[in-house]
Amino acid sequence: MSKLGNLGARLHRGEVGYDFVGNRKIWYGISILITITAIVGLAVRGLNMGIEFQGGAAFTTSKTSVSVSQARSYAEEASGHDAVVQKLGTGGLRIQVAGVDTDKADQIAEKLADDMNVEASSINAELVGPSWGEQVANKAWTGLGIFMVLVVIYLAIAFEWRMALAALVALIHDITITVGIYALVGFEVTPGTVIGLLTILGYSLYDTVVVFDSLKEQTKDLTKQTRWTYSDVANRSINSTLVRSINTTVVALLPVAGLLFIGGGVLGAGMLNDISLSLFVGLAAGAYSSIFIATPLVADLKEREPQMRSLKKRVLAKRQAAAQGDVAEGAEPVETSYDAEPEDATPAVVGPRGQRSQPAARGRGRGRPSGKRR
């Protein structure tokens, strides 16, 4: 605990911090680059759609002595189509044949069972008509659309439209990256993948919402002071929720890692593996985007408001004046915005702070309800 705990304490006090908002252009650039790569990958390579989407049959056998190549030749002979055969962790085989309809698949299953010398009933068969996968995918897209609209409305009400917009951008960003990685690496897309992708929706937003919640609280009464610009506060919000974001991501990734290990390592392939793989990729993208993309984007949008622009002007003017004063006195180096701590006139520190002369900070503190604090 201690290292991360101390880091947390230092982040909390603003002793250390990273200027997420200040360096946003770099991160925007990186994200745009990744997104373009993803889109190009998607356009060039396309997605490797599983049989659930193109129609076909997948057979899973229990432990068998038949080799992969043997099984492939059996399957190809039985179906007249190309077959993909995987060895599973259980010792069984997974045989996929695309482009056969459900009637034909029955015959293939029987023939396979015959060839491989196992009972027909011991083979798991998944037969999918092409329209079913299409339907599943279409409904998933519809769900995605409805969800996005609802979430934007909700965030616009709970927070404000800028945050809603930024969250939406972050969300699209996550999905694009995940889909792009699937296209580039060539992972198979199955209903499990779609499930994982849809879960990312909730998760990515969940992360973003926590940062926004902190941001909303800290920027209350922002215009009543002249010490911080909106970007400064946004940056502090990110830094102060950083430990939580890291913890959340780790805690979310751990069970998914368990799934991936079992799904990929033991079962070899199938639903568990598909879901956890897309979750793993998406969660990582989600954590990244809520910190590096969503909040800086809100800050960018916010700084365009006349109110915030004038605040920034005032703050900068004041800082310049202070800096000149410093130079005149030959005292302190110019302070960067992020390594100052949140100065709140909370009851616990009222006494000591009375010794200081910080009109601006105190004025802001008084304006805050005592029960609310980041």
Partner 1 sequence: MDREYEKVAAPKKGRSRQGTQGKPGRTLALILIAMVALTGGMFASGHNTPRLGIDLAGGTSITLRAVPEKGQESAVNETNMNTAVDIMERRVNGLGVSEAEVQTQGSDNIIVNIPKGTDSKQAREQVGTTAKLYFRPVLATEVSGAAASPSPSPSASGSPSASPSDKPTEKDKATPSGSATPSAGATSQGRALTDALKADPTPSGSASASAKASTSPSASASPSPSGTPSDDTAKLQAAYAALDCTKEAQRAKAGDGVKANEPTLACGQNSQKQWQKYILGPAEVDGTDVDKAEAVFDTQSSAGWKVTMNFTDKGSDKFAAITGKLAKNQSPQNQFAIVLDGDVVSDPYVNQALTGGSAEISGSFTQDEAKNLANVLSYGALPLSFKEDSVTTVNAALGGEQLRAGLIAGAIGLALVVIYLVVYYRGLSLIAVASLLVSAALTYVIMSLLGPTIKFALNLPAVCGAIVAIGITADSFIVYFERVRDEIREGRTLRPAVERAWPRARRTILVSDFVSFLAAAVLFVVTVGKVQGFAFTLGLTTVLDVVVVFFFTKPLLTLLARTKFFANGHPWSGLDPKRLGAKPPLRRTRRPSAAVDPKEA
- 289-326: b or e for each residue (b if 16 or more CB lie within 10 Å)? bbbbbbbbbbbbbbbeeeebeebbeebeeebeeeeeee
Please give the residues from 271 up to 290 whose contact with partner 1 meets the rule CB under 8 A: 271-272, 275-276, 279
CB of 6 to partner 1, least distance (A): 6
Please give the residues from 170 up to 199 whose contact with partner 1 meets the rule CB under 8 A: 191-192, 194-195, 198-199
Residue 71 binds to partner 1 (criterion: CB under 8 A): no
The contact mask relative to partner 1 for 87-126 (x = CB under 8 A, - = no) is: ---x-x---------x--xx--------------xxxxxx
CB of 274 to partner 1, least distance (A): 9
- Of residues 39 and 195, the one with the C-beta less far from partner 1: 195
Run of H or E residues at 248 = helix 242-260
Per-residue DSSP letters for 132-178? HHHHHHHHHHHHHHHHHHHHHHHHHHHS-HHHHHHHHHHHHHHHHHH
From the list 34-42, 172-180, 293-301, 329-337, the region that binds partner 1 by CB under 8 A is 329-337
- Of residues 26 and 114, the one with the C-beta less far from partner 1: 114
Residue 217 binds to partner 1 (criterion: CB under 8 A): yes
CB of 249 to partner 1, least distance (A): 9
CB of 131 to partner 1, least distance (A): 6
CB of 32 to partner 1, least distance (A): 26
Chosen residue from 47, 152, 172, 340 binding partner 1 by CB under 8 A: 340
From the list 28-36, 69-77, 173-181, 239-247, the region that binds partner 1 by CB under 8 A is 239-247
305, amino acid identity: E
Residue 221 binds to partner 1 (criterion: CB under 8 A): no
Run of H or E residues at 83 = strand 83-87
Dist. CA 293–CA 172, nearest whole Å: 11
CB of 29 to partner 1, least distance (A): 28
Dist. CA 255–CA 266, nearest whole Å: 16
Sign (positive or negative) of CA dihedral 12, 27, 287, 167? positive
Distances (CA, A) of 10 to 2, 3, 110, 296: 12, 10, 66, 22
Chosen residue from 93, 163, 234, 259 binding partner 1 by CB under 8 A: 259
Dist. CA 289–CA 211, nearest whole Å: 11
Residue 327 binds to partner 1 (criterion: CB under 8 A): no
Distances (CA, A) of 230 to 10, 219, 236, 245, 353: 21, 7, 10, 21, 24
Residue 276 CA from chain centroid, whole number: 14
CB of 111 to partner 1, least distance (A): 15
CB of 45 to partner 1, least distance (A): 25
Angle at the Cα of 61 (from 56 to 65), degrees rounded to 5? 130
Please give the residues from 23 up to 52 whose contact with partner 1 meets the rule CB under 8 A: 52
CB atoms within 10 A of CB 154: 14
Residue 152 binds to partner 1 (criterion: CB under 8 A): no
Dist. CA 219–CA 251, nearest whole Å: 29
Residue 136 binds to partner 1 (criterion: CB under 8 A): yes
Chosen residue from 31, 60, 64, 178 binding partner 1 by CB under 8 A: 60
